[in-house]
Structure 1
Amino acid sequence: MENKHFTIFSGSSIIVKGLQIRLEESNITSIIKDRVESARLGGFGEHRTAVELLILESDREKAAAITKEYEKEINS
């Protein structure tokens, strides 16, 4: 069976890292896709919120609740 990743959250690197830590505490592995750093290395610009957090499709339901709670906290 093929494991597919999808983007569960995007934002600035510090906000994305905060969610990644929360997910790791619940044994959900993730990958940070940092388009800002890639653009910088390539010699062009990218929007500061172009950092994505990807997780496995199989972790979607478990991660959705954690992500929803995290979004409430950062937006309050």
Structure 2
Amino acid sequence: MAHWAVEIPTRKPGEQPRTGVQWFTYPASAFPCRGDVVKKVREDVDTEAAVRHRAGAVADVDAIRVIWHDDVLS
């Protein structure tokens, strides 16, 4: 199944920038255009679950990297 993988660099407050990354994946069937994915991830990155998952690290939404995959999720 084709999908988008979105990488967002993260950093812990008080540390050097980009100390980690947080990944999101979205099915291409629901988000056919790259712009739709960027809009959705900007909404999702601030959800309670996303913040909890990155253990309080700050997401650098200006450095979002969107990658297209035309294969099966494993």
TM-score by length of 2: 0.31
Structure with higher RCO (Cα < 8 A, 6+ apart): 2
TM-score by length of 1: 0.30
